[in-house]
A and B are shown apart, each in its own frame.
Chain A
Amino acid sequence: MSGATPVFELPDELAIDTDVARRVIAGFIRGQLDQAGFERAVLGLSGGIDSALVAYLVAEAIGPANLLCVLMPYRTSSPASRTDAETVVTDLGCASELVDISPIVDGYFEAAAGEAGREASALRRGNFMARARMAVLYDRSVSWRGLVVGTGNKTESLIGYTTIFGDNACAFNPIGDLYKSQVRQLALAIGVPEAIVRKAPSADLWPGQTDELEGGFSYPLLDRLLFWRVDKRRSTEELAELGFDPALVERVDRLVAGAEFKRQVPPIAKLGPRTAGVDYLYPRRRPGSSAR
């Protein structure tokens, strides 16, 4: 249809071969589950594009019958998000559960955390919500006998727009090396409903919140900057020649450096002869490590 608004803006340098991506990711998901001795997977479905895409990818890899999507709204979450999540569940025909996290979050801030809790900032509340959802997913992981699949993308991981041990907690992540623009491209290719691909990304922590308004950037621009900076190792001067605003480059550099700790396993004080992650280095899956 000529003249129609494109569903999203995809910078040329970020376009991927979505057929190859689906092949690799399906094999990755099956490999991770198989090596751990699991057949099933569980993920938190928000109604946003990232978790929707992962749900489609998991369903494609292992079949919808082996996928449990957990919807975990808080009382201020947008009803539209829940509707979108339900559309995904219906379209895929996977199992789903609804867990309202309001009593968990409110119970903590209103009762357990006392006076200071009732005045907690949006940041504290948002982080707590993300970690409450993580706790629910890891509990369901046991009852469903499935691994928790991560739904964070490369853009948010690089700039640190995540809650450590919250939304970034998972057994494995199939889309953590895809920028938001690539998530959109792949989502459209695999059949995520267009309304979900089109809508403005949001952490949905308060009404009207969107990532791009909160961060003051557009995803296509940020993705391009991160691609040239991180993947293609361009210097500050080279980025300026490519047309990136030096002030934005400096700000994004700070975000990326400041979030290094969220992307790594915490350091252990080196004391003994062999220390996990330092000089005791094993693949996480090896003979004897499977649950089966």
Chain B
Amino acid sequence: MTVRIALAQIAPKLGDLDANLARHHALLDEARADGAGLVVFPELGLTGYLLQDLAAEVSMRLDDPRLARLAAATTGLSAVVSFVEESIDHRLFIAAALLEDGEIRHVHRKLFLPTYGLFDERRFFAAGDSLRAVPSRLGVGVGLAVCEDFWHLTVPQILALDGAQILINVSSSPGRDLAATNEVGLGTATSWRLLMRTYAQLTTSFVVFCNRVGVDESISFWGGSEVIAPTGAPVFSAPFYDEGLFSVDIAPADIRRERIGLPLLRDERPELQLRELGRIVQERAGLAEDATDPGGAA
């Protein structure tokens, strides 16, 4: 059995929710016609990335009829879409939602909001505070993450321990660093490729990465969407900077094969982590003495 994944490597129109919704509907139709079981759209694919004060103008509550119509278009499909979610208490989140068979199955709120360098997300958005894997109609658990979430080891590890066998990262990653010494001509891409291969191998899961293309203001998004096998080997790499709906077939049986042969998750020690993290949290809060701090021990 194989699952066909369609990666919608698109260039959303900044702030134009209607145009982007129409594009999502069209691509869902196209992917379905092509036999896709899972369609993945990039981070903020419904709104564009560099929204600033526009964020509050394009936000949707989870009961928004436009989201319901998009969900309704997923009969017989799984889709991951991303938008600005407004909570009932009017916080704005960068959200990724798993839509399946007409329903919103799961919403992941971006946990890590980069606010450094060229990023300014904390100014405009609230950070999510829960991380859950969810069962899916694909027959395996799915874990959602948004862009910067993958720059924290916690995220792929907890998702895998929570039952995810396909880790899906949706991104709006701006390309930068054109130094000729970079492996693939772009520093950003070199780093992303390295970490995705590493996560796939260490969590013995498929990693699905959908990154947008196009230009918002000064920044150009590099695309390069990928699917990585549980062995860490790339199954598919989309071209940089080109728009497209790319189809990739994966065999979920590869997950079992890899996990039997390389039982890293079986051997994981969450209770050890919990104990040590509990200690570190106590020490950081000043509630326990830090044994590793020579100044503090005196």
A residues neighboring B (CB under 8 Å): 13, 15-17, 19-21, 23-24, 27-28, 30-32, 35, 280-287
Q: Indicate whether A16 sits within 8 Å of B178 (C-beta atoms), given known contacts A27-B215, A31-B215, A283-B14.
A: yes
Report whether A20 and B16 are in contact in the complex, using a CB–CB cutoff of 8 Å.
no
- Supply 27 A–B pairs (Cβ within 8 Å), ascending by A: A15-B180, A16-B180, A17-B180, A17-B182, A17-B185, A17-B186, A19-B185, A20-B175, A20-B185, A20-B240, A23-B241, A24-B175, A24-B178, A27-B213, A27-B214, A27-B220, A30-B215, A31-B214, A283-B14, A283-B52, A283-B54, A283-B216, A285-B217, A286-B15, A286-B16, A287-B13, A287-B15
Query: For residue A176, which residue of chain B has the nearest CB?
Result: B218
Does residue B89 face the partner (Cβ distance < 8 Å to A)? Answer: no
Report whether A28 and B220 are in contact in the complex, using a CB–CB cutoff of 8 Å.
yes
Most buried by A among B15, B51, B180: B180
Q: Whole-angstrom distance between the alpha carbons of A13 and B179 in the complex?
A: 7
- Residue of B50, B185, B214 near A283 (CB, 8 A) is B50
Does residue B129 face the partner (Cβ distance < 8 Å to A)? Answer: no
Q: Which residues of A contact B215 (CB under 8 A)?
A: 27-28, 30-32, 35
Q: Which residues of B contact A24 (CB under 8 A)?
A: 175, 178, 220, 241
Most buried by B among A21, A31, A280, A287: A287
Q: Which residues of B contact A284 (CB under 8 A)?
A: 217
Q: Whole-angstrom distance between the alpha carbons of A16 and B52 in the complex?
A: 31
Query: For residue B50, which residue of chain A has the nearest CB?
Result: A283
Give the top 5 A-B pairs by smallest Cβ distance, nearest first. Answer: A31-B215, A17-B185, A15-B180, A20-B185, A16-B178
Q: Which residues of B contact A287 (CB under 8 A)?
A: 13, 15-16
A180 to chain B, nearest CB (A): 16
Does residue B293 face the partner (Cβ distance < 8 Å to A)? Answer: no
Q: Which residues of A contact B217 (CB under 8 A)?
A: 283-285
B residues neighboring A (CB under 8 Å): 13-16, 50-54, 175, 178-182, 185-186, 213-217, 220, 240-241
Q: Which residues of B contact A35 (CB under 8 A)?
A: 14, 215
Q: Which residues of A contact B13 (CB under 8 A)?
A: 287
Query: For residue B18, which residue of chain A has the nearest CB?
Result: A287
B47 to chain A, nearest CB (A): 11
> Apart from A21-B178, A24-B175, A286-B16, what are 8 other A-B pairs with CB-CB below 8 Å?
A13-B179, A17-B185, A17-B186, A24-B220, A282-B54, A283-B15, A286-B15, A287-B15
Report whether A281 and B52 are in contact in the complex, using a CB–CB cutoff of 8 Å.
yes
Q: Which residues of A contact B14 (CB under 8 A)?
A: 35, 283, 285-286
Report whether B53 and A281 are in contact in the complex, using a CB–CB cutoff of 8 Å.
yes
Q: Which residues of B contact A16 (CB under 8 A)?
A: 178-180
Query: For residue A289, which residue of chain B has the nearest CB?
Result: B15
B271 to chain A, nearest CB (A): 41
Q: Whole-angstrom distance between the alpha carbons of A281 and B181 in the complex?
A: 36
B243 to chain A, nearest CB (A): 10
Query: For residue B213, which residue of chain A has the nearest CB?
Result: A27
Report whether A282 and B53 are in contact in the complex, using a CB–CB cutoff of 8 Å.
yes
Q: Which residues of B contact A13 (CB under 8 A)?
A: 179
Q: Whole-angstrom distance between the alpha carbons of A274 and B166 in the complex?
A: 45
Q: Whole-angstrom distance between the alpha carbons of A19 and B14 in the complex?
A: 27
Query: For residue A20, which residue of chain B has the nearest CB?
Result: B185
Q: Which residues of A contact B241 (CB under 8 A)?
A: 23-24, 27
Q: Which residues of B contact A281 (CB under 8 A)?
A: 52-53
- Residue of A23, A31, A285 near B240 (CB, 8 A) is A23
Q: Whole-angstrom distance between the alpha carbons of A283 and B14 in the complex?
A: 9
Q: Whole-angstrom distance between the alpha carbons of A252 and B186 in the complex?
A: 29
A176 to chain B, nearest CB (A): 9
Q: Indicate whether A280 sits within 8 Å of B53 (C-beta atoms), given known contacts A17-B180, A20-B240.
A: yes
A33 to chain B, nearest CB (A): 10
B182 to chain A, nearest CB (A): 7
Q: Which residues of A contact B186 (CB under 8 A)?
A: 17, 20
Q: Which residues of B contact A280 (CB under 8 A)?
A: 53
Q: Whole-angstrom distance between the alpha carbons of A286 and B240 in the complex?
A: 25
B73 to chain A, nearest CB (A): 23
Q: Indicate whether A286 sits within 8 Å of B54 (C-beta atoms), given known contacts A20-B240, A24-B220, A27-B220.
A: yes
Q: Whole-angstrom distance between the alpha carbons of A21 and B214 in the complex?
A: 14
Report whether A20 and B178 are in contact in the complex, using a CB–CB cutoff of 8 Å.
yes
Query: For residue A274, which residue of chain B has the nearest CB?
Result: B53
Query: For residue B186, which residue of chain A has the nearest CB?
Result: A20
B86 to chain A, nearest CB (A): 18
A190 to chain B, nearest CB (A): 14
B111 to chain A, nearest CB (A): 24
Query: For residue B16, which residue of chain A has the nearest CB?
Result: A287
A219 to chain B, nearest CB (A): 18
Query: For residue B120, which residue of chain A has the nearest CB?
Result: A281
Q: Which residues of B contact A285 (CB under 8 A)?
A: 14, 217
Q: Whole-angstrom distance between the alpha carbons of A285 and B16 in the complex?
A: 11
Q: Whole-angstrom distance between the alpha carbons of A150 and B180 in the complex?
A: 25
Query: For residue A24, which residue of chain B has the nearest CB?
Result: B220
